[in-house]
Structure 1
Amino acid sequence: MKITIRRPISTDQPTDIASLYYRVWQTAYRDILPAGFLNALSVDSWHPEERWSNTLLAVDEQNTISGVCTFGPNRNDDYPNTSEIYSLYVDDGCRGKGIGHDLLSQALGMMPDNRDCFVVVLTENRSARHFYNSNKGVNLKRR
């Protein structure tokens, strides 16, 4: 399966991306967040079109979306003039194939030069922590 990393195009449906978010949250956070919170989520909980200009998608030959990364200026005032990865999710069936690494690499390449980039990861999310550490991430602080 050939995967292409690209920006959203006019034929991409925000609901397809929201659906990916929903599926990944249900599995990635199952043992981390309260079941009641996860059960209250739906595909309508996400509005990916709000960050359309700062989004990268991983798609196959049929344009099926298997991963998404959103990024932009850091939203934390403690770190001015830095960038942030807002979200990076890969469909469960496509994990371990380098898609997350490719999304992250391309997103970092699109950010202003010489800017540090931050991502917030839940302490309990060992999988995400391992991913970012293996991609040269540095743990700055825990809250």
Structure 2
Amino acid sequence: MNITIKNMKTIEETKGKAYVHWKAWHEAYTGIVSQEYLDVLTLEKCEDIAFQWPDNLLVAKNNEQVIGFAGFGKYRNDELENTGEIFAIYILEQYYGKGVGYKLMHEALDHLSTYSKVAVWVLKDNKRAISFYEKCGFKCDGREETIELVSPITEIRMVLSNDN
């Protein structure tokens, strides 16, 4: 396995990111998110998203195949000052446990190092992701939001302090 992390730049990488987005949602969220929502999250919709918002995206590649990605940037609202955000981090299931997520996280956090904190929103029932973020140093700060993905589902906010 030859894993590299790089900024997403090419059409092929953007299409690879879209595939990982689509596939990872179906792998990670079956049984957590309504099947009706997963059914409407098509590969084409993920490609539209990938081409519409190509900035601040890292891809993890095994040789030339995109196997994961991370999206990051300034925190979406002004509730937390001087805070960056991990918007998404997804890896194909067959690469779980191989360090790909940690490599993506490390690189994304390097890009966010000028912020005093980094936040991530995670589905409350996604125990695997919560465990991953905790191992990366994130802690739940008690903030929850309910979002609509055909049916209501709860997200929790986790925050990492960057005061190293």
Fold match by TM threshold 0.5:
yes
After superposing the two structures, state which structure 1 stretch, 70-79 or 45-54, moved more: 45-54
SS of the equivalent of 1:101 reads helix
1:12 is aligned to: 12
Shift of 1:112: 4.0
Q: Which amino acid aligns with 1:126?
A: K
Q: Distance in 2 between matches of 1:114 and 1:40?
A: 36
Q: Distance in 1 between matches of 2:50 and 2:112?
A: 19
Q: Distance in 2 between matches of 1:100 and 1:15?
A: 19
1:50 is aligned to: 52
Q: Distance in 1 between matches of 2:143 and 2:9?
A: 37
Could you report, residue by residue, the CA deviation over 1:54-85 in whole angstroms, capped at 9, with x for unpaired residues? 01111122x10011000000003211321000
Q: Distance in 1 between matches of 2:45 and 2:37?
A: 12
Q: Which amino acid aligns with 1:48?
A: A
8 A contact 1:123–1:142 mirrored in 2 = no
2:159 is aligned to: none
Percent identity, aligned pairs only?
28
Root-mean-square deviation (Å): 1.4
Shift of 1:114: 4.5
8 A contact 1:24–1:89 mirrored in 2 = yes
Could you report, residue by residue, the CA deviation over 1:66-120 in whole angstroms, capped at 9, with x for unpaired residues? 1100000000321132100000000011110000001000110011424200000
8 A contact 2:8–2:14 mirrored in 1 = no
8 A contact 1:51–1:70 mirrored in 2 = no
Unpaired stretches in structure 1, ≥5 consecutive residues:
none
Q: Distance in 1 between matches of 2:45 and 2:80?
A: 28
Q: Distance in 2 between matches of 1:51 and 1:114?
A: 22
1:137 is aligned to: 138
Q: Which runs of 4+ in 1 moved over 4 A?
A: none
Larger % of strand: which? 2
TM-score, normalised to structure 2's length?
0.81
8 A contact 2:5–2:61 mirrored in 1 = yes
After superposing the two structures, state which structure 1 stretch, 3-12 or 23-32, moved more: 3-12
TM-score, normalised to structure 1's length?
0.92
Distance 1:114 1:8, change over 3 A: closer
1:97 is aligned to: 98
Unpaired stretches in structure 2, ≥5 consecutive residues:
145-164
